[in-house]
Amino acid sequence: MMETLKERQKLKPSQSVKIAKRDLEVTASAVIGVAAYVHYLQLFILKITLPTLIAALVFGTIYLILSMGLAKSVKIFYLLGMIFPFVGATLAVIRLHLYGFEAFSVINIGFDVFVVPACAFLFIKYRRNKETG
């Protein structure tokens, strides 16, 4: 009996969706890479102040390095991919609170909200695989 594509795509409540580790690494790498680009881009669009300059250069560079590390499957970048984007998102929320709405902060928070759980998933999966053999 042949299943149709629609029948195979329907998930039963007890089934779960499998996420390929490599697909998640590549996606997280791409998202954080775009976030690095956006950090640099804001230097050409926003009024340059010292805090903006520091945040754009520091986080843009950190995110660029994270992107390369995730793309190359370097395991330490799973942990770093949780820490730095979490800090970046926290600082962006503080910036929004202090200075009001700013589109780049909102966009960067969106990137961070994806990358932190993705890297947490990769980190947990790596630790479980390491412990079990």
Chain segment 67-89, per-residue pLDDT in tens: 999 999 999 999 999 999 999 99
Per-residue pLDDT tens digits for 97-127: 998 898 999 999 999 999 999 999 999 999 9
pLDDT in tens, 13-64: 666 677 889 999 999 999 999 999 999 999 999 888 898 899 899 999 999 9
What pLDDT score was predicted for residue 10?
A: 66
Q: Count CB neighbours of 23 within 10 A.
A: 9
d(CA 33, CA 31): 5
Give the integer Cα–Cα distance in Å for 78 and 121: 9
Q: Among 6-10, 82-86, 88-92, name the one with the lowest average pLDDT.
A: 6-10
CA distance 66 to 34: 11
Token readout for 41 is: 């881009």
Predicted structure pTM score: 0.83
Integer-rounded Cα radius of gyration of the chain:
18
Tokens of 125: 């999966």
> Which of 62, 97, 96 minimizes the C-alpha distance to 82?
62
Residue bearing tokens 């994806």: 114
1: pLDDT confidence band, cut at 50, 70 and 90? Answer: very low
Structure confidence at residue 14 (pLDDT)? 61
Q: Looking at residue 115, what is its pLDDT?
A: 97
Q: Above 80 in pLDDT, residue 12?
A: no
The pLDDT assigned to 18 comes to 79
pLDDT of residue 48: 87
CA 27/CA 30 separation, integer angstroms: 5
Give the model's pLDDT for residue 2. 54
In sequence order, the 6+-apart residues with CB closer than 8 A to the CB of 71 are: 25, 26, 29, 33
| Token pair of 50 as six digits | 């010292």
